[in-house]
Amino acid sequence: SQTIHQWPATLVQPVGSPLSLECTVEGTSNPNLYWYRQAAGRGLQLLFYSVGIGQISSEVPQNLSASRPQDRQFILSSKKLLLSDSGFYLCAWSPGLAGTDTQYFGPGTRLTVL
């Protein structure tokens, strides 16, 4: 069966510090991968998605970047965190098949920028 992991689970960082959140998927090949952010009262906002190694699409211009160095690894980064980067970050994967595209989410990372 497929599983998705995210770490760390929680993170407190000062403004201006770098960020690296990691997501890995097991039990599947060539998944589509996604990064979302859930901010208070704003639902789930898609930040990045990737349909393959090295392929990243950005949905929202921001202070963050994403990379996919391996097929089942997705990394969310920032060089300098802002207060507004605080939120709950979720990684998700989907089978990448045409048609239905149910996404399955990881446990999330709670980021607090002080």
Partner 1 sequence: DQQVKQNSPSLSVQEGRISILNCDYTNSMFDYFLWYKKYPAEGPTFLISISSIKDKNEDGRFTVFLNKSAKHLSLHIVPSQPGDSAVYFCAAYYGGSQGNLIFGKGTKLSVKP
Taking the complex as a whole, how short is the minimal distance between the CB of residue 65 and partner 1, in angstroms? Answer: 18
Alpha-carbon separation of residue 92 from 15, 17, 74, 103 (angstroms): 26, 25, 10, 6
- Can you tell me whether residue 85 is helix, strand or coil? helix
Cβ neighbours for 82, distance < 8 A, ≥ 6 positions apart: 15, 63, 113
Residue 65 engages partner 1 in binding (rule: CB under 8 A): no
The Cα–Cα gap between 29 and 99 comes to 18
Residue 26 engages partner 1 in binding (rule: CB under 8 A): no
Taking the complex as a whole, how short is the minimal distance between the CB of residue 9 and partner 1, in angstroms? Answer: 8
The Cα–Cα gap between 78 and 16 comes to 9
Taking the complex as a whole, how short is the minimal distance between the CB of residue 114 and partner 1, in angstroms? Answer: 19
Taking the complex as a whole, how short is the minimal distance between the CB of residue 18 and partner 1, in angstroms? Answer: 24
Residue 40 engages partner 1 in binding (rule: CB under 8 A): no
Residue 104 engages partner 1 in binding (rule: CB under 8 A): yes
What does the binding site for partner 1 look like in residue numbers (CB under 8 A)? 6, 32, 34, 41-46, 49, 51, 57, 59, 88, 90, 92, 94, 96, 98-108, 110
